[in-house]
Structure 1
Amino acid sequence: MQQLGRSEKDLKNFVLPDVGQLLETSDPWEPYRLVDPAGGLVGPVAVYLRDLLAADTPATTLRSYGNDLLRWWRFLWAYDIPWDRAVSEDGRDFMLWMKLADKPIRVHWRHRSKPGAMPPVASTDRPAPGTPNPITGKRTPSTKYAASTRAHCETVLRTFYGFHLDASSGSLLVNPFPLDRRRGRGRANAHHNPEKPFQPTRSGRYRPTVPKRAPRRIPDDKYAEVFAALRSDRDRALLAFWTSTAARAEELLTARQPDAKPSQQLIGVIRKGTGDYQLLPASPDAFVWLRLYQEAAWSKDVPRGGGEPLWWTLRRPWRALNYPAARAMFNRANSVLGTNWTLHDLRHTAAYRMANDPMMNLAYVQHILAHRRLTTTELYTKPSEDQVIAAGLAHHARQEAKKQAPQPALIAPDYNPESLSVLFGSIPA
């Protein structure tokens, strides 16, 4: 690892070392553990994650926070900076590196097992990073860290050091990720107008501005193409459920076989974050495809019973379908169509369909989507990008039709031309 002083950081040529690891354990008391290059436990992170776990934080959030802390710890290890001796200049340099540097190339685990093996070369058939897809309009992942990733990392590190400052851990004196200078020293919202919403006052000094993007849905014609590109009845059933229940991808995969209730046209899922069990209405064709999938699966001796998962892999050994496998299934359809839709776009598609149904109350849509605030659900009442483009093209088509239409006569047909000649003189034909 590099051994450079704080004033000698060469951020332009800095490469984040691939040392340390965030380990997933099967222990409910410690779902994730951050270890140093020697395999030892990183104590400050362990205490912080334990505090989050006690605050009823989901394990998925612990994993997200742990990855941000691992990235910061690798930066500290590279420059030999103790975690409790980092200052605002170190936090500034770290956020500046995340903004301008390329993301590290992760080596696949198959290549890690081979000493000295080089990472595979990217295919030349793939679009360049950061370019929009010609069909969907969505950009491919860039070589730089996204603004949302940098903002999330800054928030995690700022709250991590804030937690240890409150606990007086080690020799920590300052937070390397301070608040914005514009906040001042006065009381937050001291002169707030009660008729206007509160403005955020806890923004970090090095937190980037995250652009607000409208949710993207799959248009109906493109949805039919995606449906046709799927290979099995199981995949078609999953797609039909995702676009009719508006459940998140991983939520639908939590369903057990008794959770599917065709007679009531409902399916039960476990909600992300809260862990609540909720019944969601689904379309009739989703249960038709589900029945076709189950008949084929049971003929192959796929496990069935009250406590068995609803979704299984298609090949032996039979395993419950997880999110990475479902995403790989959907990406295979994307590769056939040349698109880059995501599983979360299916949730947006279902939300747009419900919110734009005049007979559907928006409060009901909020309950189905499990949104905490109605303002989040209101995002789907605004036109999507493809709807705006279609409306704009229709406008230009109407304008062009007006140009091609014959112009009306200057004289109304009911007037007598001889009378007009007496008043105004001769009128050319």
Structure 2
Amino acid sequence: MLPPAARRESWTVLGNDGPVAPIERYLAYLTDIERSPNTVKAYAHDLKDWFLFLAGRGLDWREVRLEDVAGFIAWLRRPPAARTGSVAVLPSVEHHCGESTVNRKLSALSAFYQHAGRNGIDLGELLVTWQPAGRRGTGWKPFLHHISKGEPQARRTVALKAPRKLPRVLTVAEAQAILDACQRLRDGFLFALLWETGIRIGEALGLRHEDLQLVSE
């Protein structure tokens, strides 16, 4: 929604008695630190699902356990019509939420509870735990890794293993459509360079004149 006197878009999650106060506070915090409207919208939807799950089981958001998070995952995976538990779900039924969607919602919960923890709602390490320094599962290194590499690293306690998806390659027609839509020669050159060479956007933007070997026909 967009308040009358505001210039920024914001979102509100409504319960039976009006706005859900803890979600409202967190979304207001995200808006104040200028997170994008799409990010705030995604958090609103994810937290709505969490509080809907808690309401269906009579749980207080301030007193949940790790088992409740596991129950939330199972709830998300069921079709919406079967989430009340009154309808049995056959094993052949496809999951409603994929692994990546579930992990995104768990990430939203983790951020929400970290914010709540800074405001006195301490649930310990419900969704975030700490692993010893130097035990990363990938080769990715964060900014200033050389400074923080000796400190424990935070990671989510619960996460589904999501299959890796390879990026889809544009067809010739799709690439040409992008080039045709470029109204500036600079933009057309950039997209043509990406398409012809396969380099990444960061590599393309980091090129210098001396890196180019121009051949005249």
TM band (smaller chain): 0.5 to 0.7
Q: Which residue of 2 aligns with 1:159?
A: 111
- 1:91: Cα distance to partner? 1.1
Contact kept in structure 1, 2:47 and 2:109, CA below 8 Å: yes
User: Counterpart in 2 of 1:298?
Assistant: none
User: 1:30 Cα shift?
Assistant: 6.2
Amino acid at match of 1:174: G
C-alpha distance in 1, partners of 2:60/2:54? 7
Match of 1:86 among 64, 82, 106: 64
Q: Which one of the candidate residues 202, 211, 224 is aligned to 2:163?
A: 211
| Equivalent residue letter for 2:19 | L
Structure 1 stretches lacking a partner, 5+ long: 1-24, 106-129, 131-141, 225-238, 247-261, 268-279, 284-349, 368-429
Secondary structure (helix, strand or coil) at the match of 1:357 reads helix
Partner of 1:147: 99
Which residue in the other structure is 2:194 paired with?
A: 355
| 1:219–1:46 distance in 2 versus 1, CA, 3 Å | same
Partner SS state of residue 203, structure 1: strand
Match of 2:127 in 1: 177
**What is the alpha-carbon distance in structure 2 between the residues aligned to residue 73 and residue 204 of structure 1?**
20
Aligned to 1:33: 12
Among 59, 64, 68, the alignment partner of 2:42 is: 64
Change (3 A) 1:175 1:81: farther
Mapped pair 1:104 → 2:80: yes
Find out whether 1:244 has 2:179 as its counterpart.
yes
- Judged with a 3 Å threshold, the aligned counterparts in structure 2 of structure 1 residues 245 and 80 are, in CA distance, closer, same or farther, namely farther
Amino acid at match of 1:93: G
Deviation at 1:356, TM superposition (A): 4.3
Shift in Å, 1:59: 0.6
**SS class of match (1:48):** helix
What's the offset of the Cα at 1:362?
5.5
Aligned length: 182
1:148–1:162 CA distance, 2 compared to 1 (3 A): same
Q: Percent identity?
A: 19
58 and 88 in structure 1: CA distance in 2 versus 1, 3 angstrom threshold? same
Question: Do the aligned partners of 2:9 and 2:37 also contact (CA within 8 Å) in 1?
Answer: no
Return 5+ residue gaps in structure 2 as ranges. 82-92, 143-151, 207-217
Deviations 1:277-324 (A, max 9, x none): xxx6249xxxxxxxxxxxxxxxxxxxxxxxxxxxxxxxxxxxxxxxxx
Please name the residue that 2:187 is paired with. 281
Preserved CA contact (<8 Å) 2:78 2:95? yes
- 1:88–1:176 CA contact under 8 A, matched in 2: yes
Per-residue deviation at 1:204? 1.3
CA pair 145-56 structure 1, distance change in 2 beyond 3 A = same
Q: Conserved in 2, the CA contact under 8 Å of 1:161 and 1:175?
A: no
Partner of 2:33: 55
Aligned CA RMSD, in angstroms, stands at 3.8
What's the CA shift string for 1:48-95, capped at 9, x where partnerless?
A: 111111222001100001110000000000011111111212112212
In the alignment, is the contact (CA less than 8 A) between 1:32 and 1:66 conserved in 2?
Answer: yes
TM-score normalised over the length of structure 1: 0.36
Q: Which residue of 2 aligns with 1:46?
A: 24
Structure-2 separation of matches of 1:165 and 1:359: 45
Structure 1 residues 92 and 359 mapped into 2: Cα distance closer, same or farther (>3 Å)? closer
Match of 1:220 in 2: 172
Post-superposition offset of 1:197: 4.5
Structure 1 CA distance for aligned equivalents of residues 198 and 95 of structure 2: 44
Tell me, yes or no, if the aligned pair for 1:88 and 1:178 is still in contact at 8 Å. Answer: no
Task: Tell me if structure 2 keeps the 8 A contact 1:179–1:205.
Answer: yes
Instruction: Give 1:47 deviation, angstroms.
Output: 1.0
| Contact 1:52/1:62, CA 8 A, preserved across alignment | yes
Give the TM-score normalised by the residue count of structure 2. 0.67
Hey, what does 1:8 align to over in structure 2?
A: none
CA contact (8 A) 2:128 2:154 kept: no
Equivalents in 2 of 1:359, 1:84: separation in Å? 49
Query: Is the CA contact 1:32–1:62 (under 8 Å) kept in the aligned structure 2?
Result: yes
- Structure 1 residue 31: deviation in Å? 0.9
Aligned partner of 1:397 in structure 2 is none
